[in-house]
């Protein structure tokens, strides 16, 4: 059946093109978000050092770094797919992707994988520049990697979804500012949910981004607000739902093929 065919060559080319697209402007797509995260760390750790201890024996600066790394991974994975697709739609060059014999699964995989690469490259950059400033340890790096990979895949998928839905930059900005930004900032990047009241803890647990950040942090400290296996299941479920929805829309050509 054509719907589940997969052409490696077409997919590889679209992936390469998407990687080149962000790499050609890497100052803006990689260096700038690394600098922003470094500024977050300097400002917040300076302001809150000595006032907050999220986990016993872990400084606030060390606590903050995994959150900032994950935030960078998520935001940049989202930005990659969403900006590529909306720019292509608005300038009209999406036609070059729609005319060739690319199936929706190939289009999905190429956009999401490129987004994951950008998210992970930026995350690695943030980790590298912030590492010397903290007493960070790696208690369970496999968990950290798993959450980084799954988190970037979800946000790459959401970026693709937003790119499919949005018809103008204004709508894309709204999606980013009213959906992605609040979910990211309220995911426990800057605080442990144990510091919240039971009500807000319960609300936090409805946010899939919380599980990505909490599980990722577990990889560094071996401590988390919820068990990492539960977080992994929540993240995997969120990815499955987002991927299924996006693939469905791509196969129908919703807002892409009229």
Partner 1 sequence: MSAPVAALDIRSVSRRFGALQALDDVSLRVEPGEFFALLGPNGAGKTTLISIVAGLTRPDAGTVSVMGHDVQRDFRAARRALGVVPQELVFDPFFTVRETLRIQSGYFGLRRNDDWIDELLQNLDLANKADANMRQLSGGMKRRVLVAQALVHRPPVILLDEPTAGVDVELRQTLWQFVRRLNREGHAIVLTTHYLEEAEQLCTRIAMLKQGRVVVMERTADLIRRFSGGKLVLRCSGATLPAELQPTVIEPPRHDAATGGWTATLRVDGNAEVEPMLARLRLGGCRIDELELQHVDLEDVFVRIMQAA
In whole angstroms, give the CA distance from residue 40 to residue 127: 13
Residue span binding partner 1 (CB under 8 A) among the ranges 98-106, 156-164, 173-181, 211-219: 98-106
If the CB atoms of residues 20 and 233 are measured against partner 1, the closer one turns out to be: 20
Residue span binding partner 1 (CB under 8 A) among the ranges 18-26, 47-55, 137-145, 179-187: 18-26
Tokens read off for 59:
């400084």
- According to CB under 8 A, which residues from 100 to 129 bind partner 1? 100-103
Tokens read off for 191:
């605080």
Find the binder of partner 1 among 29, 88, 187, 231 (CB under 8 A): 88
If the CB atoms of residues 9 and 206 are measured against partner 1, the closer one turns out to be: 9
Residues belonging to the chain? 258
> In the bound complex, what is the minimum distance in angstroms from residue 85's beta carbon to partner 1?
13
Residue 55: CB partners within 8 Å, gap ≥ 6? 63, 192, 221, 223
- According to CB under 8 A, which residues from 198 to 257 bind partner 1? 253, 257
Per DSSP, helices labelled H in 166-197 are 169-175, 181-185
If the CB atoms of residues 104 and 217 are measured against partner 1, the closer one turns out to be: 104
Question: Which among 52, 44, 54, 60 has a CA at the least distance from the CA of 223?
Answer: 54
In whole angstroms, give the CA distance from residue 40 to residue 128: 15
If the CB atoms of residues 98 and 145 are measured against partner 1, the closer one turns out to be: 98
Question: Which among 194, 40, 47, 69 has a CA at the least distance from the CA of 131?
Answer: 69
The total of other beta-carbon atoms located within 10 Å of residue 195's CB is 12
If the CB atoms of residues 64 and 247 are measured against partner 1, the closer one turns out to be: 247
> In the bound complex, what is the minimum distance in angstroms from residue 15's beta carbon to partner 1?
10
Tokens read off for 119:
């998210």
Residue 136: CB partners within 8 Å, gap ≥ 6? 62, 65, 66, 130, 220
With binding defined as CB under 8 A, does residue 13 bind partner 1? yes
Residue span binding partner 1 (CB under 8 A) among the ranges 9-17, 33-41, 131-139, 157-165: 9-17
Find the binder of partner 1 among 6, 43, 49, 93 (CB under 8 A): 93
Residue 59: CB partners within 8 Å, gap ≥ 6? 49, 53, 134, 135
- According to CB under 8 A, which residues from 22 to 41 bind partner 1? 24-25
Helix (H/G/I), strand (E/B), else coil: 194: helix
> In the bound complex, what is the minimum distance in angstroms from residue 248's beta carbon to partner 1?
16
With binding defined as CB under 8 A, does residue 97 bind partner 1? yes
Query: Contact positions toward partner 1, by CB under 8 A?
Result: 2, 5, 7, 9-10, 12-14, 16-17, 20-21, 24-25, 88, 91-93, 95-103, 253, 257-258
């Amino acid at each position: 059946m054509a719907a589940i065919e997969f052409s490696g060559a077409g997919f590889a080319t679209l992936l390469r093109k998407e990687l080149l697209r962000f790499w050609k402007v890497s100052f803006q797509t990689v260096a700038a978000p690394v600098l922003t995260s470094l500024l977050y760390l300097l400002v917040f750790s300076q302001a809150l050092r000595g006032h907050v201890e999220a986990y016993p024996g872990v400084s606030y600066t060390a606590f903050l770094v995994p959150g900032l790394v994950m935030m960078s991974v998520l935001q940049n994975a989202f930005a990659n797919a969403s900006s590529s697709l909306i720019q292509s739609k608005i300038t009209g060059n999406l036609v070059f992707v729609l005319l060739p014999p690319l199936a929706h699964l190939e289009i999905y995989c190429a956009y999401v994988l490129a987004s994951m690469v950008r998210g992970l490259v930026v995350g690695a950059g943030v980790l590298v520049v912030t590492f010397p400033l903290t007493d960070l340890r790696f208690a369970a790096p496999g968990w950290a990697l798993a959450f980084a990979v799954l988190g970037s895949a979800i946000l790459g998928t959401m970026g693709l979804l937003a790119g499919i839905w949005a018809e103008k930059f204004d709508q894309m900005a709204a999606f980013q500012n009213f959906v992605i930004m609040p979910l990211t900032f309220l995911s426990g990047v800057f605080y442990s949910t144990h510091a919240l009241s039971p009500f807000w803890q319960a609300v936090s647990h409805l946010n899939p981004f919380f599980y990505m950040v909490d599980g990722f942090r577990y990889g560094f400290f071996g401590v988390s607000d919820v068990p990492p296996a539960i977080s992994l299941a929540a993240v995997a479920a969120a990815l499955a739902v987002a991927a299924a929805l996006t693939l469905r829309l791509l196969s129908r050509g919703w807002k892409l093929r009229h």
